[in-house]
Amino acid sequence: MIRAQKIGKSFGPLRALSDVNFEISQGELIALLGANGAGKTTLIRILAALTRPSTGTAEVAGYELNREQQQVRKRIGVVSHQTLLYGEMSAQENLYFYGRMFRVPDLQSRIDELLGLMELKKRRHDLVRTFSRGMQQRLSLARAVLHQPNVLLLDEPFTGLDIHAEELLTRFIEKAVADQVTVLMTVHDLDYARDHAQRLLVLHKGRLAIDAAAAQTTRAQIVELIRE
């Protein structure tokens, strides 16, 4: 479902990613780990067709990123550090706006389903700017899956969530994987990654240092790379 081939990215003299190769199958949950500045967000942005790689190429859901960006965007859902929500619109209005953009069939029913799943039905008519960070993050996830994408790219999705919201998000991700959605997410919580992901990708100074089943990696291996 995702194939990266010799992906590299430079920002002037700074080399953010170098020769990154991996494949992810349908329905896999993959945790992307690494120290700050290791290249995690840059890689997510490349796979989300938000920035082009300097070298190499990637395929997402069978489409080549450099040539078929629009097709890729129709098949992915993205949650990043920015919620991509409009503060002066209500929760329902935000989802309606994105749903019309993606031509989601039976849109109102889909919005009702997701607001219920994210426990936001009671706040559906409230302006998003009045929401807590955790509520905005939940609504951002609803936005990302509104069009039922094949691939979810989640960049630190647990940021700003309380314990209840973390449990809600964990259940949501588990259901997505059970429905054969492919999930690639960056996380700082090593224990969560090792307990929930099938595989771990660990970036170290822009290079892929580990690509292995979670059960085959030790905490010490990963911590050593993250601390360097």
- For residue 53, which amino acid is it? P
In the chain, the number of structural domains is 2
- Rounded Cα distance, 96 and 6, in Å: 38
The pLDDT score that the predictor gives to residue 48 is 93
Average pLDDT over residues 92-119: 96
Judge whether residue 66 has pLDDT over 90: no
Give the domain extent around 69.
1-75+151-156+182-228
- Answer whether 60's CB lies under 8 Å from 1's CB: yes
Judge whether residue 228 has pLDDT over 60: no
pLDDT grade, residue 59 (50/70/90)? very high
The pLDDT score that the predictor gives to residue 93 is 98
Tell me which DSSP letter residue 38 carries.
Answer: S
The pLDDT score that the predictor gives to residue 159 is 81
Judge whether residue 14 has pLDDT over 70: yes
Examine the domain organization and report whether 23 and 44 are in the same domain.
Answer: yes
Examine the domain organization and report whether 131 and 66 are in the same domain.
Answer: no
From 148, 168, 194, the end of a domain falls on 148
The pLDDT score that the predictor gives to residue 95 is 98
> Could you report the per-residue pLDDT of 30-40, keeping only the tens digit for each?
999 999 889 99
Judge whether residue 161 has pLDDT over 90: no
Higher pLDDT, 123 or 188: 123
Determine the distance from the C-alpha atom of residue 189 to the mean position of all C-alpha atoms in its chain, rounded to a whole number: 15
The pLDDT score that the predictor gives to residue 130 is 97
Torsion of CA 107, 112, 116, 120, to 10 degrees: 100
From 126, 148, 170, the end of a domain falls on 148
The pLDDT score that the predictor gives to residue 55 is 96
